[in-house]
Structure 1
Amino acid sequence: MKDCTKPIQVFEYGSLQIGEDTCFKKKHWEMLGWYNETHGGRYFSLTPKGVRFNQYVGVIQAGDLVIEILPKVGKQAADSEKSIWRNVLLDMLSQCHWMHVHANEKAYLKFRANSILEAYLELFVNECETLLRAGLVKKYRFQEKNCKALKGKLIFGKNIQYNLVHQENFYTRHQVFDQDHLLNQILLKALKLVATISSSPFLRDRVQSLLLNFPELSDLKVTAATFERIQLNRKTESYAEALEIAAMLLLNYRPDISGGRNNVLAILFDMNDLWEEYIFRQLARYKNKKWSLHNQSQKRIWQSESERAFKVVRPDLVISMDGFHSIIIDTKWKLPDGEYPGDNDLKQMFVYNEFWKCKSALLLYPTNSFSKLPGFKPGNFINGNGLLHRCGMVTVSVLDESNSKLDPMLGERLVNFIEEEIKRCPKDYQIK
């Protein structure tokens, strides 16, 4: 009999089927369908007796079941590799600062024994404990209430309404300096959520201790607009990590409106976005000081005559040197479809080179096969017999030489390769 207290692990683009021999039941299938419907069907698709996942990786808690969706490179991946790719995902998230990890290596290793969800919950609890030890920030706010002494502004209408008999009281609007403000209210609401969804008795005990030490605060309804109102300053910048995880938990939680236990929480990431961010940070870490590195820069490619509508092109990464746009990089989290770039990819890269006046464009793919040098299949855009600019396919290993963890040298290898590619390009490709 399967142990349903442990997370079910599947790879991206994998599927789960309802069955008597699995922990995935019809009730979980219905919960996932309900959750996906509220998000426009973006995270996965339902099949008649199961669910098929797409490019989103992370963790989903549906009632009493936790599902971890792991990244992979290629169509096949063995079950024995799930722990490797789970750690790869955690490493990528931490290096992209999508998941804060303490410098203490023992604390980091402790997360590995839990699910991805429990890792996030523990990080949030750690941040709240740190904030509480330092003292929760106080702010000024206005309050309306009955007071024994006259302070602030007397509200005449309500004073008559409430104090016609008790004339010793004053109904006023006055300033108070306390901890009952938006930042602390968000943390308290998220802590109460952690207490209900965590499967770790130890973590729940820590949360209960925190709740006992938290002051009484006003309740609030949290939406995306709630977090848009937040403006941190020097006094409140220590709240940043806790608020980031709180937003992730509160905005992705869908409680069962019938009052049951069919609640759903999903913390999911588009693997294409994560791969792009990871490559950007690896290049930024090891890049030449002469480089200027930009991600998601854009230019207009078309606009209506009225200029009310327009279309843009947006390459993933642009590297400039000495005032020239030297290299365009477009990241792809998949294996190449063939030995050479596809037509659509080539057209896309040609436009990038033309608009940014670049001498080379690279389609960057991951691979499972470790190599000290990135794989490279070069090519050129041509016009007749004339060379316009270059475009090639590059593959880099995600795992290190042992095939057991994320390659820590990926960024350095890639930077060295790009510098060699810049040297290979003829000088007359450089157009200011």
Structure 2
Amino acid sequence: MTLLQVLEHEWLPIRSGGGQSLNVHQAALLERLADSLPARALEWRRAAVKFTQFCGVIQLGDLTIEVLPKIARQERDVLRCQQVLVRLLQVTGALPPQQVGEATLGQQRHALLDVFIEHFRGMLAQQMQLGLIRRYVPMEDELATVRGRIDLVKQVRLNAFSPQRVHCRFDEFDIDNPYNQVLRHVMGMLLHRTHHPAIKRGLNELLAHLAPASIRSFTPEQVEALVFDRLNQRWQPIFKRCAEFLRGLHPNVTAGGIPALALMFDMNRLFEGYVTWRARRAFKGLQIQSQGPRRFLAANQAGKGVFQLRPDISVLKGAQVVLIADAKWKILSPEERKLGISSADLYQLVSYALRYQCQRLALIYPAMEGLNPGLREKLTIEGSDVQLAICSIDLAGVLVSSDAVFDGLHSWVSEC
């Protein structure tokens, strides 16, 4: 098993010398998988490939590639990068935190795919302790005692001379139903994707409880079509993860039909979700809305709205928007006069201020280790009372509870 750990936007050489590189065959397999990955997840150049803002894990046969977020300018601490990615996934709900099984991986000193699988196994173990999903299944059988109702037609026709046996129709409260069949299918798939002995042992223990469930294959769409009621809705996060794992499988990418597995996450979305989570913790008593409220910037001659606006994060006091923030997964450049901020990002926020009648704007960026986080700049938009704060958040701080930047923004909004 070969493990390559690469940072986002880092070029991975393609050569035959081994080491931190892909060989030509592995590069060809990755290229075949490219169409199944998110758009623009890869960039190619002569004898090298780069992973863009999508982080996660790709498994191609015996090769596992971990793409990790870059959180330091100079140091290459892959363990810390792993921890930050896992924590971001947890706080944004993409990887729900759980306690069962966390000791198996210690401090995540293992392959990232093992971390994902172990979290799923832990979630599943928690729910199985409360009981598997059971459904009544219609059955019929010849029994020594009556169960359910007697099938008189078959009883007369088949058991006329054997009255000691009664042909009955009844409902069996059984675990052999599509829900448990999905769980067995997904766990069996994951069992072959991990090389961690403790995780294999844990998966096998859970599979033993699902032995009565039939072996069937499922598509992500079939899993998403399962219906949940008040009795089994606690299982919904489990089946959401099942669909994600199945969607990450790409059969017949590698030679011999060995399936590939790709679990990739858009760091733009993750960072936006993290900033929203932090804002909800800091802005007590105010409403936080993600991707809204949606309004149109203009109206055409027919009076129909055009150019819909959808702010990343809005802070509302009643119906009034008091702060609009955009989260940008991009590293600021302190050595530049404009910090490397895109003019388009600034123009976008100013249009928000005009349409929402909001006087407080914020651009929020990640801060790499080694650079001081916090308020980088505060600008006043000429000809208006609108002010724009440019902030950076220490990504290493995702591992602790530090809300200093957002507490400052809260105080700033209160002044308005």
TM-score using structure 1 length: 0.80
| 1:71 alignment counterpart | 69
Does the 8 Å CA contact 1:43/1:53 hold for their aligned counterparts? yes
* Distance in 1 between residues matched to 2:302 and 2:225, nearest whole Å: 34
| 1:408 alignment counterpart | 400
- CA 1:339/1:33 → structure 2, altered by over 3 Å: closer, same or farther? same
Which residue among 398, 411, 415 is the counterpart of 1:420? Answer: 411
Deviates more, 1:259-268 or 1:359-368: 259-268
Deviation track 1:126-171 (CA, whole Å, cap 9, x = no partner) reads: 3333444443121235x6x87659989x9x9xx9xxxxx9899xx9
Secondary structure in 1 matching 2:78: helix
| 1:216 alignment counterpart | 212
Q: CA deviation at 1:344?
A: 0.8
Residue 28 (structure 2) pairs with residue 30 (structure 1): yes
Matches within 5 A, 1:315-334: 315-321=311-317, 323-334=319-330
Amino acid in structure 2 at the alignment position of 1:112: Q
| 2:163 alignment counterpart | none
Residue 277 (structure 2) pairs with residue 286 (structure 1): no
Q: Mind listing any 5+ residue stretches in structure 1 that lack a counterpart?
A: 160-164, 401-405, 426-432
Secondary structure in 2 matching 1:7: strand
- CA 1:362/1:173 → structure 2, altered by over 3 Å: closer, same or farther? farther
Secondary structure in 1 matching 2:188: helix
Amino acid in structure 2 at the alignment position of 1:31: L
* Distance in 2 between residues matched to 1:174 and 1:375, nearest whole Å: 69
| 1:430 alignment counterpart | none
Counting matched residue pairs gives 399
Deviation track 1:253-300 (CA, whole Å, cap 9, x = no partner) reads: 112278836421111111111111111111212322x22111111223
| 1:195 alignment counterpart | 191
- CA 1:395/1:139 → structure 2, altered by over 3 Å: closer, same or farther? same
- CA 1:182/1:354 → structure 2, altered by over 3 Å: closer, same or farther? farther
* Distance in 1 between residues matched to 2:42 and 2:187, nearest whole Å: 28
Deviates more, 1:181-190 or 1:330-339: 330-339
Deviates more, 1:388-397 or 1:308-317: 308-317
| 1:94 alignment counterpart | 90
Does the 8 Å CA contact 2:36/2:250 hold for their aligned counterparts? no
Does the 8 Å CA contact 1:17/1:49 hold for their aligned counterparts? yes
| 2:376 alignment counterpart | 376
- CA 1:146/1:45 → structure 2, altered by over 3 Å: closer, same or farther? farther
Does the 8 Å CA contact 1:377/1:394 hold for their aligned counterparts? yes
Amino acid in structure 1 at the alignment position of 2:277: R
Please list every run of at least 4 consecutive aligned residues from structure 1 whose deviation after the TM superposition is greater than 6 angstroms: 149-152, 165-168, 171-174, 303-309, 370-373
Does the 8 Å CA contact 1:73/1:334 hold for their aligned counterparts? no
What percent of counterpart residues are identical? 20
| 1:273 alignment counterpart | 269
TM-score using structure 2 length: 0.82
Does the 8 Å CA contact 1:335/1:365 hold for their aligned counterparts? yes
| 2:390 alignment counterpart | 393
- CA 1:235/1:27 → structure 2, altered by over 3 Å: closer, same or farther? farther
* Distance in 2 between residues matched to 1:413 and 1:407, nearest whole Å: 14
* Distance in 2 between residues matched to 1:18 and 1:314, nearest whole Å: 41
Q: CA deviation at 1:321?
A: 2.7
Q: CA deviation at 1:363?
A: 0.8
| 2:359 alignment counterpart | 359
Does the 8 Å CA contact 1:151/1:172 hold for their aligned counterparts? yes
Amino acid in structure 2 at the alignment position of 1:57: C
* Distance in 1 between residues matched to 2:304 and 2:174, nearest whole Å: 48
Amino acid in structure 1 at the alignment position of 2:58: I
Does the 8 Å CA contact 2:99/2:122 hold for their aligned counterparts? no
Does the 8 Å CA contact 1:28/1:63 hold for their aligned counterparts? no
| 1:296 alignment counterpart | 291
Deviates more, 1:231-240 or 1:390-399: 231-240
* Distance in 1 between residues matched to 2:304 and 2:62, nearest whole Å: 50
- CA 1:293/1:48 → structure 2, altered by over 3 Å: closer, same or farther? same
Give the superposed CA RMSD.
Answer: 3.6
Secondary structure in 1 matching 2:386: strand
Residue 249 (structure 2) pairs with residue 253 (structure 1): yes
Secondary structure in 2 matching 1:379: strand
* Distance in 2 between residues matched to 1:10 and 1:372, nearest whole Å: 25
Q: Mind listing any 5+ residue stretches in structure 2 that lack a counterpart?
A: 161-166
* Distance in 1 between residues matched to 2:104 and 2:286, nearest whole Å: 33
- CA 1:42/1:178 → structure 2, altered by over 3 Å: closer, same or farther? farther
Does the 8 Å CA contact 2:280/2:288 hold for their aligned counterparts? yes
Does the 8 Å CA contact 1:372/1:413 hold for their aligned counterparts? no
* Distance in 2 between residues matched to 1:421 and 1:203, nearest whole Å: 48
* Distance in 2 between residues matched to 1:13 and 1:173, nearest whole Å: 64
- CA 1:123/1:135 → structure 2, altered by over 3 Å: closer, same or farther? same
